[in-house]
A = this chain, B = another copy of it.
Amino acid sequence: MALIVHKYGGTSMGSTERIRSVAKRVAKWVRAGHQIVVVPSAMSGETNRLLGLAKELQPAQTSTAVMRELDALAATGEQVSVGLLAIALMAEGLEAVSYAGWQVPIVTDSAYTKARIESIDDKKVRADLAAGRVVIVTGFQGIDSQGRVTTLGRGGSDTSAVAIAAAMKAAECLIYTDVDGVYTTDPRVVPEARRLATISFEEMLEMASLGSKVLQIRSVEFAGKYRVPLRVLSSFTEWDIPIEEEAKSGTLITFEEEANMEQAVVSGIAFNRDEAKVTVLGVPDKPGVAYRILGAVAEANIDVDVIIQNVSHDGKTDFSFTVHRNDYQRTLDLLKSQVAPATGAAEVTGDPRICKVSIVGIGMKSHVGVAATMFRTLSEEGINIQMISTSEIKTSVVIDEKYMELAVRALHRTFELDGEPAT
């Protein structure tokens, strides 16, 4: 018998038929002797519907008071889900009880629409589990010190599930979703992409931050901090597959170094075409110039990803970075109108038609020449590299977006990630 947290995403909760299937699956785990806490997301589309209504009333949502009300509004989506799932579980003959975040309580700070969990009091939940009940807790939300409902931001239900698993020292946190695990890369781009049976926490963090949308990045950070064993698996298998099989399906995110000793140097290829590149050319290379450029960008609330500054020539340097494609024009305007005049830069250029491709692998820490192999592969395909950025377990390049699929497939092959083509 173990205490296990199940988290179900919006598509898994998308209809009463799907909810009934979730209930049957949970019942299977309970009948096998486990204590189960379920964290469901809102029914798919519901959060967007609610925020859409708010947008019709107040197009510019900026003040703290408005964000507080948006949270009160958006949190109802998950409150509907827990009520429905509790009823579905009772229809399966189980005892079940739902909790909104404020009832647990899950205490957060007051950063409405992107609150952070501060503490979870699991006393009531434990008592219900001990009494033989399935406990269903709303994802995505909590309560702040003023008694106001807060939300954790998009994908926050993953974070809720992991936080509850951490607070309750659950044996495992199962993230049921509409994909069956973490892949070496996107199977839509590379048919030979393989599901990884395990992935290290650090790699998962890089994959998530690089746009593999399987898990919300904050939930991975949380899992790493509290060492919560996390498994991503599909809720779209038949609910009655044997529990032993289900328990080993999907991808396990691990924290044990030794488990990774024998694994491939590169675990996966991530990519992202949501970015655009901007370059400030001929900036006088003086102390503080990077701050003068990026400070202005940060002040305009523009998120910057890759940043490159190369060595200078004749006292001048070129400064490049990438931003979200939606911020491209705004960034360019800002640089031209304010930053270039202030820094004495010669010119501002940019390109929105780029993509970022990254190889991720904890094995890179101990293997030299991995980046070189990446660059050689791209060169053999005739792909020009525009920017390079590296970390301990990741090497990213910015290239022309038209080469994205070609680059991902070539790298997937080079690093021997290809499996059987998906059927």
- Residues on A lying within 8 angstroms of B by beta carbon are 16, 19-20, 23, 50, 53-54, 56-58, 61, 63, 65-66, 68-70, 72-73, 75-76, 79-80, 82-84, 86-88, 90-91, 95-98, 100, 102-103, 147-149
Contact = CB atoms under 8 A, between A and B. Distances in A.
The binding surface of chain A is classed by DSSP as helix
B69 A87 contact: yes
Contacts of A100: 72, 149
Contact of A66 (B50, B54, B56, B87): B87
A17 to B, nearest CB: 8
A96 to B, nearest CB: 7
- Chain copies in the assembled complex: 2
B16 A65 contact: no
Nearest to A69: B86
B53 A72 contact: no
Contacts of A23: 57
A80 B66 CA distance: 14
Contacts of A63: 90
B103 A57 contact: no
A39 to B, nearest CB: 15
B65 A95 contact: yes
27 contacts: A23-B57, A50-B80, A54-B84, A54-B87, A58-B87, A58-B91, A61-B87, A65-B86, A65-B90, A65-B96, A66-B87, A69-B83, A69-B86, A69-B87, A69-B97, A69-B98, A72-B79, A72-B86, A72-B100, A73-B80, A73-B84, A76-B76, A76-B83, A79-B79, A100-B149, A102-B102, A103-B147
Contact of A16 (B53, B75, B76): B53
Contacts of A68: 97
